[in-house]
């Protein structure tokens, strides 16, 4: 009996292309039978946001951050050549032509493959994000859980 | 007798939020008894800069770079939504309300926990930074030391 | 008989300073007898582009992307303080004074040391890059090859 290999990714970035890279690696590793965890922190939390507007109690500053940050991966911009959304639109058009899977579907695929999606509770507090605003069936944890998951890992990435 | 686990982080980024993530992971890993190294290179060196202005001999270009780069982590901007410092100020206000530890104190905590802080000598040369300008009790090394430290590591990250 | 240590780097970024860091680590690891792979994806593919303009068949959008993206590492900008190329020029001048090796030469050194340079075929499609436009003697692969290469690795980085 051999132990499963492990891949753990910290998704810090809120860029569409980086989230795509993270989820492609995660789905690939899961397909090769790795135990995979994506720990979402800071702007990476936005990949887990639900699309709809939700009524939750927030301070003024939390509301402001909430409005400025994208609701879900599909609303994120590119890390390069975004040009106020133009570059992003081009990439999305090309993706459609190549039948490439958009990031929100990569997230669903990851959940279907039992990739563990974790939201960092400390940065949720900082950015004023609440559990109701994030996808269902994810886990909530802090840095201790991340260390525990990744210290026996094979592939450890910060994206 | 078991060997200690190892976490090695390359801190390349000069963004406040990324430095925060690096130092939170480093302090977390140290608390779980890992041997932890942060190798500061390029803009990440600014996290090690002293706050005060120091009289050191520099060429014109080195002075220019020195002036443009932040003196210490607290003067860094955010990687996203910085808005000429507004976003950074907001995050700092929220951090204060949540009693979150600012990065300069995370650096002190790391030193107290014996996290090895290394400044990359090659990029110090490129950016014109001198030892007098950086924090005391850090080490100076190049890529060979980084490879040696991380090749037996458990968690290896580039931030 | 001991197995070789392994270093695998995903080079996602199209910034000159990050490509420099990636190739310095790769060459360092190769010098310490690691088996080293750099998997170029998204903007990192530009580090592998040939300098010259080549006549290849492209759609309008692929031509546009091709024109906007740098042809080879030496044409990339900095991730910080680029100032429309000014910062980049400064860094290059300082590098020359310090006899630091420019990135296009670091790429040649890596090839001479048998570092495996891989271009991600999926993102080549997205960005409209064709094999003729990339350096000779590189390999072409997808995420499965990356997982296979890095799951037994010692140092795994995403840059």
A49, part of any domain: yes
A64 touches chain C (CB under 8 A): no
pLDDT for res C16: 96
Q: What angle do CA A45, A47, A51 make, to 5 degrees?
A: 110
Compute the nearest-CA separation of A115 from chain C (Å). 15
Q: Determine the residue of chain C that is closest to B42 in CA distance.
A: C17
Q: Which of C14, C61, C143 sits opposite A24 (nearest CB)?
A: C143
Size of interface B-C (CB pairs under 8 A): 70
In a domain, B1, yes or no: no
Does residue C1 sit within a domain? no
Q: How many domains does chain A have?
A: 1
Region of A116 on the Ramachandran plot (φ > 0 left; ψ -120 to 50 alpha; else beta): beta
Residues of chain B with pLDDT under 50: 1
Neighbours of chain B (3+ CB pairs under 8 A): A, C
pLDDT the model gives residue C40: 98
Closest Cα partner for C14 from C58, C67, C73? Answer: C73
Report the residue of chain A nearest B17, measured CA to CA. A42
A150 part of a folded domain: yes
Predicted pLDDT at A2: 67
3-state secondary structure of A157: strand
- Is A101 among the domain residues? yes
Reported ipTM: the value is 0.94
CATH number at residue B144: 3.40.1260.10
Taking the Cβ of residue C17 and every Cβ of chain B, the question of whether any pair is shorter than 8 Å is answered with yes
Please, are residues B73 and B108 in contact by the beta-carbon 8 Å criterion? Answer: no
Domain contains B100: yes
Residue C158 has pLDDT above 60, yes or no: yes
In chain B, the N- to C-terminal Cα span, in Å, equals: 32
Contact with chain C for residue B146, Cβ under 8 A: yes
pLDDT at B2: 67
C112 touches chain A (CB under 8 A): no
Q: Which residue range is the domain that position C23 belongs to? A: 6-158
pLDDT in tens, C22-80: 999 999 999 999 999 999 999 999 999 998 888 889 988 888 888 889 999 999 999 98
pLDDT of the residue at C87 = 87
Contact at CB, A153 and B156, closer than 8 angstroms: no
State CA C121 to chain mean position distance: 14
Residue C154 to residue B157, Cβ atoms within 8 A:
no
C34 in any annotated domain? yes
The answer, for B109 touching chain A at a CB cutoff of 8 Å, is no
CA A77 to centroid of chain Cα atoms: 14
Q: Which two tokens stand for residue C41?
A: 């994806």
> Does residue A28 lie within any of the structural domains?
yes
Q: Is the pLDDT of residue C127 over 70?
A: yes
Q: Per-residue pLDDT tens, chain A, 159 aa: give them.
A: 468 999 999 999 999 999 999 999 999 999 999 999 999 999 999 999 998 888 889 988 888 888 889 999 999 999 988 888 888 998 898 899 888 999 999 999 999 999 999 999 999 999 999 999 999 999 999 999 999 999 999 999 999
Q: How far is A111 from chain B (nearest CA, A)?
A: 24
Chain A hits for C42, CB-CB cut-off 8 Å, are 17, 21, 80
Tell me which of C85 and A77 has the higher pLDDT.
A77
Of B12, B69, B144, the CB nearest to C28: B144
CB contact under 8 A, C156 and A155: yes
Q: Do B147 and C94 touch (CB under 8 A)?
A: no
CA distance C144 to chain A (A): 6
Which pairing describes strands B116-120 and B35-40: parallel, antiparallel, or unpaired? parallel
pLDDT tens digit sequence for C107-126: 999 999 999 999 999 999 99
Chains that touch C (3 or more CB pairs under 8 A): A, B
What pLDDT, in 10s, does the model give residues B81-127? 888 888 899 889 889 988 899 999 999 999 999 999 999 999 999 99
**Average pLDDT of every residue of chain C:** 94
């Amino acid at each position: 009996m051999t132990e499963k290999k492990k891949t753990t990714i910290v998704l810090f970035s809120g860029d569409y292309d980086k989230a795509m890279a993270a989820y492609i690696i995660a789905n690939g590793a899961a397909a090769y039978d790795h135990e995979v965890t994506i720990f979402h922190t800071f702007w990476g939390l936005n990949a887990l946001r639900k699309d709809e507007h939700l009524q939750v109690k927030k301070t003024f500053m939390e509301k402001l951050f909430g409005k400025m940050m994208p609701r879900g991966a599909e609303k994120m911009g590119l890390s390069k050549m975004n040009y106020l959304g133009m570059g992003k639109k081009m990439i999305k058009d090309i993706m459609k032509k190549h039948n490439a899977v958009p990031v929100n579907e990569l997230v669903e695929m990851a959940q279907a493959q039992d990739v563990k999606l974790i939201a960092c509770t400390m940065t949720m507090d900082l950015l004023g994000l609440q559990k109701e605003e994030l996808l269902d069936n994810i886990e909530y944890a802090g840095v201790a859980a991340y260390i525990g998951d990744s210290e026996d890992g094979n592939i450890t990435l910060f994206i």
